[in-house]
Structure 1
Amino acid sequence: MRGVFLKIYLAFMVTAVITATVTLVLAAYYRQWSNDSTNLIAPTGGYISAAELILQQGGEPLLLEWLLRFDRHPSVNAYVFDDQGLSLLPVVPQGVMDYAYSPDTYEARINPLGRSEILVKAPIESAEGRVYLLVVEFLHPLVVFNLPAYLGWGLLASLLLFAIWGLILSGYLTRPVRYMQKTVQAFASGDWTARMDLRSLKRRDELGELSREFNHMASYIERLIHDQRQLVSDVSHELRSPLARTTVALELARLDAVPEQEEHLDRIELETQRLNDMIEDLLNMAKLETQQDHSHWRHVDCGQVLNQVVEDARFERQESIINLTLASDLKTVFGDSKLLQSAFENITRNALLHTHVGTSVDVSARMRDGMLRVVIRDHGPGVPEDKLEDLLRPFVRAEGARERLGQGHRGFGLGLAIAHRVISHHRGRIRLLNHREGGLMAIIDLPPDV
């Protein structure tokens, strides 16, 4: 959100700088474009007549006094040069001297950007017949106002004004977006009742429309999640009840069964148990998709969890070889220990079912790049590269290459999918890779508890 606020704020500031620059350029060229410079030349006829009259009546002393009075004028100066080219005033700007000594005819010089905006020269004659040159200088208005200080203070005042106004306006524009961000975060964390505030809903702009659309979407998703939870509950009840009755009926059938029927009854029991396991896995996956309550989460020592998983696996499959390697600097993970244990169990059992006879399943845990990394590897036939990502989806199995070695029974393709849901539920990541020396390797990265 800081990025959006900063972009809007910088946009206001850039606009302010461009506006101030354009204003200054327009002010500098205003007289030239509006013909004000030409209009200012007209009064010089009066100055010329007055200077010539004073020179004829009082000579150079009276003319010098008249010139000195021009110093009190804020924007007009007058200079007189005698027939020898010497100025009657002790100080003459270099630009005025260059204009006076120029061989040009008596044409006015206009420079909208210079100190001397307008320069006009004309000859005046004394009573004795001597010819003097009168130069009238019109100063640029910005020079009169002390241009550096004027521009500096003006630019500083403009920037301060725009900075304060831009800050207020940027905050006003981004405030509903910041509130929406908090609402979305709360909604994503499992607070399905999170909604935009009434003030945002009353806005008549695009942000108000977005707030109303978000509330509509949130209500729809809340209803879907509620319906899904209800469906999970209904499916659990409706499917488990007939399965339970089937189990009871199966046991009653065994009482009257003849030896030839035992094989068929065992098959029915096996398929019933498989169906019951599949329903249990589906219900667990549905809970992981909808349950966002983390109030029961605790600090989990994944080393202890892996120890328990490996011990259980060794007890169930005593003929298998399982190697466990744990680093000494393992950090705890904030999460649900039972869910993490189920994820590790699913991956480990999957590895045990697919590793070659006489080979081991290697389980290790260490810290890597600030994450807790758990690696579970078998020494089986591996999986085609194009099937690796698909194995994390429900009901997907790699046919042919990953048949359960030495067994006719195959699973439903839910073990890795459930493990993937559990790891994602803990803000982690799971990847499946073929080891370069053979076998499948599951790499699990979990964020440690800070």
Structure 2
Amino acid sequence: MRGVFWKIYLAFMVTGLVTTLVTLVLASYYRQWSNDSVNLIAPTGGYISAAELMLQQGGEPLLLEWLLSFERHPSVNAYVFDHQGVSLTPAPEAVIRYAYSSESYQARINPVGRSEILVKAPISDASGQVYLLVVEFIHPLLVFNLPQYLAWGLLASVLLFAIWSLLLSGYLTRPVRQMQKTVRAFAQGDWKARMSPRFLRRRDELGELGREFDHMASYIERLIHDQKQLVSDVSHELRSPLARSSIALELARLDAVPEQEEHLDRIELENQRLNDMIEDLLNMARLETQQDHSHWQPVDCGQVLQQVIEDAQFEHPESIINFSSDADIHKVIGDIRLLHSAFENIVRNALLHTESGTSVDVSVRMRRGQVRIVIRDHGPGVPDDKLEDLLRPFVRAEVARQRINEGHRGFGLGLAIANRVVAHHRGRVRLLNHREGGLMVIIYLPPDL
């Protein structure tokens, strides 16, 4: 959001400064492009008559006194050149060049120079000797001390536009920041989060966007409520018949003959599989709707994996699981129960598919600022075009399909649930085939910094 604020702020500042510069340029050339220079040149007739009168009545001494009187006029100077081309008073180089120029008696206008307007005319004394009078109109900005004038003007412009741009940028981005805060709260599970009434009363596009967001939020809140209710209803409606079926199965065992035990065991196995599948589906549904992170805490992934490995080796004493970890592993913020379940699903899946007599390798490292967990088996692997599909529900590799008849679970939900758990913790899961054989499940989780 700060990026948008500063972009708008700088846009206003640049616009203001460019406007100031253009105004200064236009002011500099204004006299040349308008009739104002003509109005300035008009009074030179009076200066010419006065200079000639002084020269005829008092000669050069009186004319010189008259020329020195221009020192009291900061914007106008007058210079007189005698018949030998020598100025009676010190003259700037630009005035001398203009006096000696071959131009006829035409005014010269220079909007960016010291001498903004130069006018020359011949005058004569009582004996008829000809002199040259040059009247110089000094640029107004030089009269006002141009460097200081520009410095103060530019400073005032910058301060004015800075304050105005700050206020205007804040006015334009404040609603967006409020919307961002509301969206963030909604994404974190506050389904009641809505835009403020003051924001909704706006008649512009932002107000319309806020009203559309509130409408969308209400719709999503209703969907999530209905989904939670459906999960609760499904949990009750499906588990109740299974519970009754289990009781009936145990009662049937009391009167069963030995030939029926095999069939009853098969019914019990299928009931257990159905109960496990319902539990997995309910867990996935909860992950879709659970946004409350208030119970999250720092979790040491290394310790959680060690606990998962110990449980797996207790259940499968013949299994070989190699574990390695860096000493500086950062903790992650999350739900330790969900992370334990995700790691357990992946480790059990690896034990299921690794070849007999081979190991499952588990490692935890810090890579590029993230916690990187790798769980690798030494099984047949998975075709590359099927890797991404394994993270979707009810997708199984061919080897997993073959294991179902051996009594193993194989609904295709283990990796899908693990992927949902990791995504719930703002992480990601990658599946790769190891170059020496076997499947690698790589988990990236953001650390608690």
TM-score grouping bracket, smaller chain normalisation: over 0.9
Partner Cα distance (1:92, 1:424) in 2: 84
Secondary structure of the residue aligned to 1:137 is strand
Summarize the Cα distance change of 1:324–1:290 in structure 2 as closer, same or farther, 3 Å threshold. Answer: same
- The residue aligned with 1:443 is 442
Aligned-pair identity in percent equals: 80
What letter is aligned with 1:447?
Answer: P
Aligned to 1:79: 79
Q: Which residue of 2 aligns with 1:5?
A: 5
Q: Tell me the number of residue pairs that the alignment of Structure 1 and Structure 2 aligns.
A: 449
Q: Secondary structure at the match of 1:365?
A: strand
> Is the Cα contact below 8 Å between 2:242 and 2:271 reproduced in 1?
yes
Residue number in structure 2 paired with 1:136 = 135
Letter in 2 for 1:51: A
Higher alpha-carbon deviation: 425-434 or 280-289: 425-434
- Which residue number corresponds to residue 220 of structure 2? 221
For the residue of structure 1 that corresponds to 2:244, the secondary structure is helix
CA pair 109-327 structure 1, distance change in 2 beyond 3 A: closer
- Bigger shift: residues 123-132 or 256-265: 256-265
Aligned partner letter, 2:179:
M
> Aligned with 1:382: secondary structure?
coil
Structure 1, unaligned runs of 5 or more: none
Which position in structure 1 is the counterpart of 2:144?
Answer: 145
Residue number in structure 1 paired with 2:65: 65
1:186-212 CA-partner distances (Å, limit 9, x unpaired): 111111111222221222222222222
Report what 1:375 is aligned to.
374
Q: Secondary structure at the match of 1:84?
A: coil
Q: Which digits, 9 at most, give the CA deviation of each residue in 1:362-406, with x for residues without a partner? A: 122233333332211100011111221221111122336985499
State how far apart, in whole Å, the 1-side matches of 2:209 and 2:194 are. Answer: 12
TM-score by length of 1: 0.94
Specify the SS of the correspondent of 1:334.
Answer: strand
* Counterpart code for 1:329: D
Aligned mates of 1:365, 1:19 — CA distance in 2: 60
1:100 aligns with 2:106: no
Q: How does 1:3-402 map to 2 (within 5 A)?
A: 3-89=3-89, 91-399=90-398
Q: Which runs of 4+ in 1 moved over 6 A?
A: none
Deviation per residue, 1:122-157 (Å, 9 max, x gap): 111110111100111112222222222111111110
TM-score where L is the length of structure 2: 0.95
Aligned mates of 1:403, 1:361 — CA distance in 2: 20
3-state SS, counterpart of residue 356 of structure 1:
coil
Q: Deviations over 1:220-273 (max 9, x none)?
A: 111111111111101111111122222233334444555554444333322222
CA distance in 2, matches of 1:370, 1:36: 70
- Higher mean displacement: 44-53 or 434-443: 44-53
Q: Which residue type is aligned with residue 340 of structure 1?
A: L
> Is 2:369–2:447's contact at 8 Å kept on the other side of the alignment?
yes
Shift of 1:317: 1.9
Offset of 1:14 from its aligned partner? 0.5
Partners of 1:326 and 1:149 in 2: how far apart? 68
Aligned partners of 1:2, 1:216: CA distance in 2, in Å?
27
How far 1:408 sits from its partner (Å)?
7.0
Which residue identity lines up with residue 66 of structure 1 in the other structure?
W
Partner SS for 1:37: helix
Judge conservation of contact 2:124–2:131 (CA < 8 Å) in 1: yes
Change (3 A) 1:36 1:150: same
5+ residue gaps, structure 2, are none
User: Would you say the 8 A contact 1:383–1:434 is kept in 2?
Assistant: yes
Which deviates further from its counterpart, 135-144 or 272-281?
135-144
- C-alpha RMSD over aligned residues: 2.0
Query: Cα–Cα, structure 1 residues 405 and 237, in superposed 2: closer, same or farther, change >3 Å?
Result: closer
Distance in structure 2 (CA, Å) of the matches to 1:190 and 1:447: 20
